[in-house]
Structure 1
């Protein structure tokens, strides 16, 4: 799998929170994020990303769809197996 390089200082979320604030207000932060990813900052640099369950599930479904599309494209030109449906 190819993963694009991203600068360690790039924040890939519109919602950020410090590690300290996350420890103090975990439930409130998830509520305010409203199903969006949260960048967890340590010394103003991204340390981790917190994904609400619904967002993570949609992300995994999307990745599965991309993998399925890749397989379809890869296998589109064969080889194919001839099948006699009456023999099944």
Structure 2
């Protein structure tokens, strides 16, 4: 059974069009993601390098924020700088 999945991008293209001219597809999206469709279902998303890098930075920030929250209530341990 095929599951209908939402298309999470304003720009779409087919795999065939992407194969013909991948850079044209990316350039036409003006820096935004492109949903690459296979039989009218999103197969994957194509995003420019800058957008991917920003996404990875955001994910890292979220992970670090979670670590801070997890450790917020932990008991403090005093150490001397000389012990480091």
The two structures have a TM-score, normalised by structure 1, of 0.83
CA contact (8 A) 1:19 1:40 kept: yes
Structure 1 residue 8 displacement after superposition = 4.2
Size of the alignment, in residue pairs?
Answer: 81
> Counterpart of 1:83?
79
Aligned-residue RMSD, C-alpha = 1.4
Q: Which runs of no fewer than 5 residues in structure 2 stay unpaired?
A: none
Runs (4+) off by over 3 Å: none
Deviations 1:31-84 (A, max 9, x none): 111111110001111111111100000000000000011000100112221123
> Counterpart of 1:33?
29
CA contact (8 A) 1:19 1:41 kept: yes
Q: Which runs of no fewer than 5 residues in structure 1 stay unpaired?
A: 1-6
